[in-house]
Structure 1
Amino acid sequence: MNPTAAAATEERLAAHRRRFDAAFEAYFTRLAATFDAPPHGRFTPECLQLLRELSLRGGKRLRVVLLYEAARLVSTDDGLPGLAEAALSVELLQTHLLVHDDIIDDSPVRRGGPTTYHAYRHAFPGHDRTALGLALLAGDLAAFLSLRVLLEADVPAALRQAMLEVQTRAATDTIAGQILDLERDFHDLPDEELLHTVTEYKSARYSILAPMRLGLLAAGEDLAPHDAHLRRYATLVGVCGQLRDDYLDLFGDDSALSKPPGGDLRAGRRTYALRAILARAGTADRAVVEAALGDPHCPPGTVERVRDIACRQGTDALLRADLRRYAEQAAAEAATWSGRWREEAVALFTHLPLRLAKGTG
């Protein structure tokens, strides 16, 4: 993509994010005014406020971008019926997953602010079960709101049903992926296929495939002739994105991560990066890595030592090469869409995985 086209694309994506953020804020304002909360209680309004705060703290809004750009494969109309509701739905599902992820990981910070779980722990010191229960229920509420926003969309019944089927399947697949993600770490050395399966179910299906399906549905496209291509693209981009996240978690710096590196190591996650290090490590090096895996108090010096082991092995370079390879395969898949869909949007989907692969050295 030439510099002029790349600049125009970045502005278009920024416009998607700005439009959505305004719509998301308006949604929560309406919700606070219209939600049928039980009388004589303050916990439900406070729960809605915590969901609002987490949701509006943002993130890259990649799912929203994918949804709008998938619609643009067919139509230039950003106001297609159902498109705005689909965008709200994918981000409310994301809020649900973040709330529950932070409970599973006992994370204190998310997007530069307190996690919902830790906000409740701070609000109810000494009442850990209450804090846990309220956080779980907050996540559940976000999940059901993500479906309700589609149920209330002013679109033909057939489109509403198709969108609900996409989101329901994405949500159930993601929960299955979360379960497999926890099982993965009981394998001393999970094989690559297991890691690919975790990535596909836990993230690619809801973060990439579902938004693309929803965007195409809103644009009036029949998914059946294209679904195999969408699945292949989503899986490749999902692996690319997870490789990037795993690489940066160990090799990134504090300013890029907004948190200290080594989080996966301390949590005991056998990620793409840590699996590759263990697979290539000799006895002494493996003992160092295994001792650090799952140690929440693992000091920065030990994280640096694991990084040094990876660099001596050449594992850092291997991970970057794998990341580029998957990005190129995803870009090649998107390039085959030329002639089938609008070239401007096809170019974006071709460019996106290569963009993800940048910034890892």
Structure 2
Amino acid sequence: MDTSAYDADLPAHVERALAGFLERAGAEIRRTEPTVGVGIDALAGFVLGGGKRLRPTFAWWGWRGAGGDPAGPDVEGVLQAVASLELIQACALIHDDLIDSSDSRRGSPTVHIAGAKLHADSGWLGSPSTFGLATAVLVGDLALAWADDMFGEAPLPPAALAAARPAWRAMRTEVLAGQYLDVRTQATGDASPEAALHICKLKTAAYTVQRPLHLGAALGGADDALIATLREFGDEVGVAFQLRDDLLGVFGDPSVTGKPAGDDLREGKRTLLVALGLQRAAEQGKDAAAKVISDAIGDAHLSEDAVETVREALQDVGAVDAVERRIDELTESAMAALDRAHLAEPAPAALTGLVVKATQRTY
């Protein structure tokens, strides 16, 4: 295989690794219990049906930056290890869609909605929605279990896997803790910017950028100093990435984001954008704007016209500009950390490109 193709078209190689693993992992249970094939197909369709592959990509460039050689004997093992992050992502998204009662993702029905439709179309007993809920829980659990298998079975020296395992364990725990904190914050109604940033750091920054970089660098034999600098870079980039995602959740084009505009509002997400909107409206005495924003949070039937009114209110009180400034500040700080890391080439240029891609405006 042309080793230069790994860097040039990493997502395709991640896809190849995932497709091969999913086929191997499901082969035996398909033979012994064919009915489970529906759930495996749902997982495979979800995992292979799209996605930016950001987590494997950050992990890959952490490995390359630590001196990993795509022409070396460990490259396929590293590819398998970093690709396994997509299965953790699948678990998180499938369960997230269930928690948020989302009907669609990437233009297709979510797993619980598809499961409910299967039940209804088949004329089975009981509640279609309950069956769909159970299906999504179990398919998400399967993704998490197989993520562990895919990572642990990667053909790599035991010492390399052992070095990366602390990052793997921390990442799994942190994303689940972040999801719980997100749910709890919605339930308590904590609308403070501090709470929003805390969720952002735990649920997204660590899980999307910081820990994947840590894991990849550890696979490459990085020392503690390099890992610490990469984690600093990853924390800044990860928060900036989530803030951009928050803006897209309200202002983004559904054909780009894969979800209806305003869904973050309908789901009651307490993002920094919303928190700053409420805080600034209160500080400026703009009670009408505060009410528009507050009333929209958690309104499952929020219309497109109402979403547009919220957009106008967020812009009027300066929340959008404030989040944009925060993204710029975080990006600048991240690039300074990247400069200090002195990574092996071509990792610095690749990571710079990822920062731009993760934080650029697309609305």
User: Matched residues in 1 for 2:19 and 2:184: separation?
Assistant: 37
1:1-361 equivalences under 5 Å are 15-33=9-27, 35-36=28-29, 39=32, 41-73=33-65, 74-77=67-70, 80=74, 82-125=77-120, 126-222=127-223, 224-281=224-281, 282-338=286-342, 341-360=343-362
Q: Quickly say closer, same or farther: Cα 1:78–1:27, change in 2 above 3 A.
A: farther
User: Matched residues in 2 for 1:150 and 1:267: separation?
Assistant: 33
Q: Do the aligned partners of 1:335 and 1:347 also contact (CA within 8 Å) in 2? A: no
Unmatched 5+ stretches in structure 2 = 121-126
Q: Structure 1: which 4+ aligned runs deviate by more than 6 Å?
A: none
SS at match of 1:185: helix
Q: Which amino acid aligns with 2:167?
A: V
User: Matched residues in 2 for 1:78 and 1:95: separation?
Assistant: 30
Q: Which amino acid aligns with 1:94?
A: Q
Q: Do the aligned partners of 2:292 and 2:313 also contact (CA within 8 Å) in 1? A: no
User: Matched residues in 1 for 2:90 and 2:180: separation?
Assistant: 18
Q: 1:3 matched to which residue of 2?
A: none
Q: Do the aligned partners of 1:327 and 1:356 also contact (CA within 8 Å) in 2? A: no
Q: Which amino acid aligns with 2:69?
A: T
User: Matched residues in 1 for 2:326 and 2:203: separation?
Assistant: 20
Q: Quickly say closer, same or farther: Cα 1:216–1:78, change in 2 above 3 A.
A: farther
- Offset, 1:297: 0.9
Q: Quickly say closer, same or farther: Cα 1:236–1:78, change in 2 above 3 A.
A: farther
Q: Do the aligned partners of 2:314 and 2:320 also contact (CA within 8 Å) in 1? A: yes
User: Matched residues in 2 for 1:45 and 1:255: separation?
Assistant: 30
Aligned residues: 346
Q: Quickly say closer, same or farther: Cα 1:172–1:124, change in 2 above 3 A.
A: same
Q: Name the Cα RMSD after superposition.
A: 2.2
Q: Which amino acid aligns with 1:349?
A: L
SS at match of 2:84: helix
User: Matched residues in 1 for 2:361 and 2:142: separation?
Assistant: 36
User: Matched residues in 2 for 1:250 and 1:13: separation?
Assistant: 34
Q: TM-score, normalised by structure 1?
A: 0.88
- Offset, 1:88: 2.6
Q: 1:6 matched to which residue of 2?
A: none
Q: Quickly say closer, same or farther: Cα 1:123–1:359, change in 2 above 3 A.
A: same
Which moves more between the two structures, 232-241 or 190-199? 190-199
Higher relative contact order (CA 8 A, sep 6+): 2
Q: Which amino acid aligns with 1:70?
A: G
Q: Which amino acid aligns with 1:104?
A: I
Which moves more between the two structures, 84-93 or 22-31? 22-31
SS at match of 1:330: helix
Q: Do the aligned partners of 1:177 and 1:198 also contact (CA within 8 Å) in 2? A: yes
SS at match of 1:203: helix
- Offset, 1:260: 3.0
Q: Deviations over 1:149-180 (max 9, x none)?
A: 22222323232333333222211111111111
User: Matched residues in 1 for 2:197 and 2:9: separation?
Assistant: 33
User: Matched residues in 1 for 2:254 and 2:85: separation?
Assistant: 29
Q: Which amino acid aligns with 1:113?
A: S
User: Matched residues in 1 for 2:91 and 2:301: separation?
Assistant: 28
User: Matched residues in 2 for 1:99 and 1:110: separation?
Assistant: 9
Which moves more between the two structures, 242-251 or 281-290? 281-290
Q: Do the aligned partners of 2:165 and 2:215 also contact (CA within 8 Å) in 1? A: no
SS at match of 1:220: coil
- Offset, 1:279: 1.0
Q: Percent identity?
A: 31
Q: Which amino acid aligns with 1:161?
A: A
User: Matched residues in 1 for 2:260 and 2:175: separation?
Assistant: 27
Q: Do the aligned partners of 1:332 and 1:350 also contact (CA within 8 Å) in 2? A: no
Q: Quickly say closer, same or farther: Cα 1:78–1:55, change in 2 above 3 A.
A: farther
Q: TM-score, normalised by structure 2?
A: 0.88
User: Matched residues in 2 for 1:219 and 1:127: separation?
Assistant: 48
User: Matched residues in 2 for 1:109 and 1:360: separation?
Assistant: 21
User: Matched residues in 2 for 1:115 and 1:164: separation?
Assistant: 31
